[in-house]
Copies of this chain bind each other. A is one copy, B any other.
């Protein structure tokens, strides 16, 4: 069966916070060079959302989706909630949306895999649809950081974000052709900066991209672009070295405005690609995600 990404939407606040005012508000000590952070990372602004608004924002996104698709909600068979922060379990947010919007046939559960959560949720959704256990699956992905000091992770800065994606057996914007994933539980937040692990992370990710291409008898020449998480241009320079391609092969447009929003990046970037009309019908892209722990996921999509 042909499984598609049927609909994508994203919520960001109207006003971004300029990186300079954000960094000033942090009152860094002298030993820390805040401007180097922003210069190195090419992030000019970040987004903050009041986490108490999460349920309300998802409700508005789902309402808009139902209206656009002319659905009454009973057509949704699963609602998968994907938290990419590591805060307390907030599954009740998804339950509440199911009830308020009367998604009468939607079974609710959550899937987490850190910042690659949307990708693994897409894989699970496609398996459920392929298995005829579902016709439409909604993925609700959010990313919140409670303390500003925790927004600095590894090589990037975290914004808050909220996104929605429909995976369906019927009409859509991207056909999901193949998926591959890899987990290495030995690489995590605690040892990211030790032992040359950033290089290993890039190496494993690049291998996975090569593997999905080989499995589908393709090369990077067949791919219009790689759609990454919005972590940093620096990291993608390393990936491009490993893949023997140039940076313009990678969709990096969203890093400057917002940086990394966990697993919401996947949804945000696909939405931007559609909005910017970047792809012709039939063109292929590779969706790439990485969640600390660490898991890497790649999906081969075709624009339809």
The 7 tightest CB contacts between A and B, nearest first, are A99-B185, A95-B185, A95-B293, A98-B185, A109-B113, A99-B186, A127-B127
How many angstroms between the C-alpha atoms of A293 and B95 in the bound complex? 6
Partner of A87, one of B89, B106, B188: B89
Q: How far is the CA of A99 from the CA of B295 in the complex (A)?
A: 12
A83 contacts B92, CB within 8 Å? Answer: no
Contact A89 B83 (CB under 8 A): yes
Q: List 20 A-B contacts (CB under 8 A).
A: A79-B183, A91-B112, A91-B113, A95-B183, A95-B294, A96-B185, A98-B183, A99-B184, A107-B181, A107-B182, A108-B113, A108-B183, A108-B185, A109-B112, A109-B113, A109-B120, A109-B295, A123-B133, A124-B127, A133-B179
Q: Does A97 contact B (CB under 8 A)?
A: yes
CA distance A78 to B114 in the complex (A): 16
Please, how many angstroms separate the alpha-carbon atoms of A79 and B112 in the complex? 12
Check: A110 CB closer than 8 A to any chain B CB. yes
Known: A88-B89, A91-B293, A98-B183. 17 other contacts (CB 8 A): A83-B89, A91-B114, A92-B188, A95-B185, A95-B293, A97-B185, A98-B185, A99-B184, A107-B182, A109-B112, A109-B120, A124-B124, A124-B128, A126-B131, A127-B131, A130-B130, A133-B179
Complex interface: chain B residues within 8 A of A123 (CB)? 133
Minimum C-beta distance from A150 to chain B (A): 14
Q: Does A299 contact B (CB under 8 A)?
A: no
User: A88 touches which one: B79, B88, B96 (CB < 8 A)?
Assistant: B88
